[in-house]
Amino acid sequence: MVPGGMSSPKRIPTDGGRNFGHNPFDALSSEGLPPAFNDPTPEAAPDLIPEAKAARKNRGRVDIIRQKAGRGGKTVTVVTGFVGIGLPEKEQLAKAMQKTCGTGGTVKEGRIEIQGDKRAEVARILTEANFRPVFAGG
């Protein structure tokens, strides 16, 4: 008896010695099946791996502008001219730019604004996302 008047619970062994029932897969064999596919190279099984991703289509020109006017003397890198992408993707691009540049930023009125003069880093991220960045303005 356990203190408090209750008997001890039934213990289930955890050594794996007991079989819990019939396994329907015990009677199966792997004879006659093709070998397991473990080699991810295209030469190993060209029919199982799709062609290398076709060169992704250029997603259009975007302008990268450095602005100071009306910002209290602070420099801001502004990316404009996005065509055919929604707000969630712009926010995702802005987040990637902020992380790479180590600065803050936002998405306002369809533009991405990154704090500081970070045009080179922003252009690299946009190129990786298949945009065609162009440095506009002065």
CA atoms of 129 and 62, how far apart (whole Å): 11
- What tokens does 90 get? 């712009």
**Nearest Cα to Cα of residue 44 among 53, 34, 31:** 34
Cα–Cα distance for residue pair 137/132, rounded to 1 Å: 16
How many residues does this entry show for the chain? 138
CATH number for 61-136 (one of 1.10.1040.10, 3.40.47.10, 3.30.780.10, 3.40.50.720): it is: 3.30.780.10
Q: Which of 76, 77, 83 is nearest to 130 (CA)?
A: 83
pTM of the predicted model as reported, rounded to 2 decimal places: 0.58
pLDDT in tens, 36-73: 666 555 555 555 545 444 456 788 899 999 998 888 88
Treating both helix axes as pointing N-terminal to C-terminal, what angle do 87-101 and 119-128 enclose, rounded to 10 degrees? 130
2-34 pLDDT, tens digit each: 555 566 678 766 666 656 677 777 778 878 777
Q: Which residues pair with 111 in a beta bridge?
A: 108
